[in-house]
Structure formats: structure tokens, C-alpha cells
Amino acid sequence: MTTYPFTRALVTGASSGIGLEIAEQLGAAKVALVVVARREDRLREIERRFPGTEVIVADLTTPEGVKVVVDRISNPHSPEIDLVVNNAGFGTSGHMHRIDPDRLAREIRLNAEALTRVMHAAIASMIPRGIGYVLNVSSVASFQASPGLAVYSATKAYVTSLTEGVAEELRHTGVRVTALCPGLTKTEFQSISNTSGIATEFPDFVWTSVPMVARTGLRAVAEGKTLAVPGLLYKVLVGISTVIPRGASRKITRLITKRA
């Protein structure tokens, strides 16, 4: 059985996809769970599988939902949380001017603002203890602008940059912060973001499995790595993206998203 240096983990967006898999892998490793999502029925299923799991039903696109999570992390009378996984997020495909601006505002609030507030609460509670871990789920889209997913890639660029900056700030505190940057991974993201066509447009070898992505992220944060990119293909692509001209990168991404 895999072991981790965490005793209790809070996972946002734990009802499906990468968040659910992270929760399941932690639960299987006997790490106590605090799971957060909007869909209570799915959280109760995690609780059934891993007795003792704390369930927090919260919509992190709202101030009230964020406050519930922040208060749980900061509560000195509740069991301490030593791993926080910021996984909740969603994307929207299409040309920006054709998308409902209220939806884009919710996307930014969830992917960037809520993540920042939860991360802030986690770090503030961990620094006095001299140990703690934060795993922010970002994306390979954070390394280049993505026409057709412009707001999503911008929010993920924020997440990756924030993680890198804060990781340096915390270098001598004992608190470790990691950005997990997966590539194409089949989850509910495709249906929510209206990119389901991608599944038929790209060959199987470009898709990473949800269990592998979750395992890579957990291993990376436990080891204190700042960035984790699952899969050799995406490691190479991220490396290439740092050396080719940004204009060329934008055009390549535009052609890919246009196909999908």
C-alpha cells in the first residue's frame, strides 16, 4: 500500500474526475478525508467507502461556499489538515465574445479567486506548525495561450505562476506547494466545457489516465516538487513551449482547438 506523509487531506472538487481519484487514492492509503463539492450524493458515496470522511457541501463560486471551506481549514478546534488539494475548477470552450460573461466570471472566481483564498487559509494554518502540503490542480494549458479556451488557460496560467511564486516564498518554512499540470485527461471536464469532440479528434496515446494523473500529483507534492506534469509526451511539449516563439505557439494551439 502506498504511504504518504499526510494524515488528513481536504480535497475540493472531490465528486468526480481527478479530485475523486485523488480522494480515493488518499483514502486507500488510510489518509483521513475532508471532501468538498456541490453534489452531496457523490460525497456521501466517498464517505460510505471511507468511514470517518468529513463531507462539506459547498459551491466555491460563491463567497459563502468559500467561507465554509476556509473556516474548516482555519478552525483550531477541528482536526488539523496537512494536505489541501485545490482541484475544483471548470472551463468554457468557444470564442470569448460569444460566451456568457456571467459564466466566465464564475470560471474565474472558481479557478483563481476561490483557489487563492483556500490556499491562503491552508498556508496560514500550516506555517506555524512548520509542515504542510498544498496541491493546486492546474493544466498544461497554463504554459501557453489557448485560443478557444482563452479564459480557462489564463486562469491556469495564474494558478501555475502563483504556485511557483509561493513555493519560493515558503522554501524554508516546511510547507510545500505543488502545481499539477495534466494534459488531455478524460473526465467530466469535456462535457462541462463543451469540448467532448476532442475525444474523437485525438488518438489514444495523447490521453493520460485519471489514476496516473492523481498518483503523479500526490507523489510530487509529497516529494516537495513545485511542478508536476504527468506523462512523457506532455513533459516534452511543456519543454518545447518554453523555447518556441509565443506567436507560433498560439497558432499551433488555435489549429488544434479549431479541429476539436
At a CB cut-off of 8 Å and minimum separation 6, what does 46 contact? Answer: 14, 20, 23, 24, 27, 33, 35, 53, 55
d(C-alpha 224, C-alpha 56), whole Å: 27
> 1 in a domain, yes or no?
no
> 190 in a domain, yes or no?
yes
Mean pLDDT, the chain, as a whole number?
A: 90
Q: Express each pLDDT in 106-165 by its tens digit.
A: 999 999 999 999 999 999 999 999 999 999 999 999 998 888 999 999 999 999 999 999
> 192 in a domain, yes or no?
yes
> 3 in a domain, yes or no?
no
> 2 in a domain, yes or no?
no
Q: Which domain holds residue 34?
A: 8-259
> 75 in a domain, yes or no?
yes
CATH of the domain at 63: 3.40.50.720
Q: Express each pLDDT in 192-224 by its tens digit.
A: 545 555 555 665 667 799 999 999 999 999 999
Judge whether 234 counts as a catalytic residue: no
Model pTM above 0.85: yes
Structural domains of the chain, count: 1
Cell numbers 485525438 label which residue?
202
Q: Point out the catalytic residue in the list 4, 133, 152, 234.
A: 152
At residue 133, the 3 state secondary structure works out as: strand
